[in-house]
Amino acid sequence: MAVDHGAAEHLSHTKITLAGLTFHQDTMIMSGLAIVGLFLFIFVTTRRLTAGVPGGAQNFMEVVVEFIENTVRENLPVNIPWITPLALTLFLYILFGNWLGEIPTLKSPTADINTTVALAIISFIILVFYSIKFKGIKGYSAEFLFHPFGKWLIPVNLFMKVVEEVAKPASLSLRLFGNMFAGEVMIILIAMLIPWYFNWSAGVVWLGWHLFVGIIQAFVFTILTVVYIAIAQQQMEEH
């Protein structure tokens, strides 16, 4: 019961109501901290740029920027200048949000389903926008209302296409939320169930693993967003 109560207390949210809408106050604060931390990190890093051997922060940023630039360049058939900055911002914000929960008494904003759904909706809106921009409303609509084996299969195609489109933001948000939420639960359980003289060793191992998972999940969310936008650029095949 003590474990359940402690876990529930840490994973519950402080709620406020404004204009009939309920907000998770703690998630909003943690999101703000992630943004401030990201801003300070970039500010300090850019002030210490060197043409010589880079330090740890500059080296990390160079690796991240190069990886995302290559990912965008290799996947997008048509260059969109602001997609790289968007992907970089998504990655760094999600990464800082993921890692924030590793600090005692703090929580990861990405361990709240509302945060991950909001991020996924942003990606989905961009996906739909570029689908319409490159294919036109007629071309985009035709993907829902066309089936190569006959008009009588259009209802089936419509249903499958809607499921496919909805699955994109759903998978993005649920994958990120599930991994971050489960990670915080495991840290709490390790702290509560393992005797204190073994707690630190298990905690350090799990902390290292969860930091790694935080990086992977940030990469996965960012890469899938870029891939979805690339799919949106592909012209529908002539049937």
Locus of tokens 């043409």:
51
Of 59, 141, 171, 201, which residue is the catalytic one? 171
Alpha carbons 20 and 18: distance in angstroms, whole number: 5
Contacts of 170 (CB under 8 A, 6+ apart): 120
Active-site residue 47, yes or no? no
Active-site residue identified among 75, 114, 157, 175 = 175
The contacts of residue 226 (CB under 8 Å, 6+ apart) are: 68, 71, 72, 75, 76, 83, 87
Kindly compute the dihedral angle of the four CA atoms of residues 33, 43, 102, 208, in this order, to the nearest 10 degrees.
160
Place of tokens 């009588």: 152
Which one from 31, 108, 131, 179 is the annotated catalytic residue?
Answer: 179
Cα–Cα distance, 198 to 200 (Å, whole number)? 6
The verdict on whether 175 is a catalytic residue reads: yes
**C-beta of residue 217 within 8 angstroms of C-beta of residue 178:** no
- Is 123 annotated as catalytic? no
**Residues designated catalytic:** 171, 175, 179
